C-alpha cells in the first residue's frame, strides 16, 4: 500500500511525536509480561541476525584484502627478484 507523502510543519511534527509517545506508553502499560517477553525476544533475535550478517561481511572483506595483498606480494616478488651473485674468495 502506497501512502501519500506528507508535509508537516514543525508544530505538526512535534504534536505527532507527542501523540506517538503517549500511545507507546499506553501500549507498554497494557502489555502482559508474556507479550513483553515475546516482543523483546523477537527484537533480540533480529538484532543478533544483523550482527552476524555484518560480522560475516567484515570477515569476507578482510579475507579478500588478505588475498589481494598476498597476490600483489607474489607478483612484486617475482618481478623484483635479482639474480644472486656469489663471490668466492
The C-alpha atoms of residue 35 and residue 13 are separated, in whole angstroms, by 30
Q: Give me the mean pLDDT over the 18-22 stretch.
A: 95
**Cβ atoms 31, 39 nearer than 8 A:** yes
Q: CA of 77: how far to CAs of 35, 65, 70, 71, 86, in Å?
A: 63, 18, 10, 10, 20
User: What's the whole-number average pLDDT of the chain?
Assistant: 86
Residue 8 near residue 16 (C-beta atoms within 8 A): yes
d(CA 36, CA 26): 13
Q: How confident is the model at residue 5 (pLDDT cuts 50, 70, 90)?
A: confident
Q: What pTM was estimated for this model as a whole? A: 0.51
Binned at pLDDT 50, 70 and 90, residue 79 comes out as: low
pLDDT at 19: 95
Residue-wise pLDDT for 58-72, tens only, equals 999 999 988 888 777
For residue 65, what is its C-alpha cell?
A: 584484502
Amino acid at each position: 500500500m502506497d501512502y501519500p507523502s506528507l508535509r508537516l510543519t514543525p508544530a505538526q511534527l512535534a504534536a505527532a511525536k507527542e501523540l506517538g509517545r503517549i500511545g507507546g506508553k499506553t501500549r507498554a502499560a497494557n502489555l502482559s509480561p508474556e507479550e513483553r517477553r515475546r516482543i523483546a525476544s523477537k527484537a533480540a533475535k533480529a538484532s543478533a541476525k544483523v550482527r552476524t550478517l555484518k560480522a560475516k561481511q567484515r570477515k569476507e572483506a578482510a579475507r579478500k584484502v588478505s588475498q589481494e595483498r598476498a597476490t600483489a606480494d607474489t607478483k612484486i616478488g617475482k618481478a623484483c627478484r635479482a639474480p644472486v651473485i656469489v663471490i668466492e674468495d
